[in-house]
Amino acid sequence: MEQHSTTAVYHHEEHGHAGGGTKEVIRITVYLTVITLVELAIGFYMYKAALPEGFFRHFLKGLICALMLWKAFYIVAYFMHLKHEIRNLIMTIVVPLFLFVWFIIAFLADGNSYKNLRNKYDPYHIEQNDKKAPVEHEHGAQKEGTIE
C-alpha cells in the first residue's frame, strides 16, 4: 500500500517535467537522422575515393567515432531521459563509464604493440601476412561486382 502511494508520487512529479514533449522527440529524431547520413556519406566517400591508409583516412575514421559518440549522447540524454534526472543519479551512471577511457587506450595500445613486435621479430608471421588469397577466394571477390 505504501509502495503504491510512493510510486504514484514519482509519476506525478515526472508528469510535471517530462521534457520537451513530442516536439523534442521530433527534433532529436531529425538530429539522429542527419548525423547518421553524414556518417554514411563519410563512409561512402572513403569507399569511393579508395583512400590509401594514412593520416586522412584515420582522421575520417576518428570523425565517424566522434559523430557516433554525439549520437549516443542524444539517445541517452533525450530518449532515455537521463538529462532530466537528478544530477546524483546521472553521476552514478556516467562516472563509472569513464573507465572506458583507460580501457580503450590500454587495450588498443597493447594490440598495436603486439603487432609491431611480431612484425619486427617474427619472420614467419610476415611471410604469412604476404600470402595472397587463393583463386577460389578471389572468385568470391570478383563476384561482388556482378548481380546474382
Partner 1 sequence: MAQAVPAVQKWWNGGKSPFNVEYGKIMMWYFLMSDAFTFGAFLISYGTIRFATNSWPDPNHVFNSFPGLGAGYPLLFVSLMTFILIISSVTMVLAVQAGQDMDRKRVAKYLVFTILGGLAFLSCQAWEWTHLYHEGAWWGHNPFPNHNGSVATTNFSNFFFTITGFHGFHVFSGVIINIIMLIMTLQGKFDQRGHYLMIEKAGLYWHFVDLVWVFVFTCFYLI
x-marked contacts with partner 1 along 66-105 as a string, rule CB under 8 A = --x--xx--xx--xxx---xx-xx--xx--xx-xx--xx-
Candidates 33, 56, 83, 120: give the one binding partner 1 (CB under 8 A).
33
Which residues in 9-28 contact partner 1 (CB under 8 A)? 9-11, 13-15, 18, 21-22, 25
Q: How far apart are the first and last CA of the chain?
A: 64
Which residues in 109-148 contact partner 1 (CB under 8 A)? 110-112, 114-115, 118-119, 128-134, 137-138, 140-141, 143-148
Residues near partner 1 (CB under 8 A), total = 74
- SS3 string, 65-81, reads HHHHHHHHHHHHHHHCC
Instruction: Give me 35's grid cell.
Output: 548525423
Considering only CA atoms, which of 12, 28, 30, 9 is closest in space to residue 20?
Answer: 28
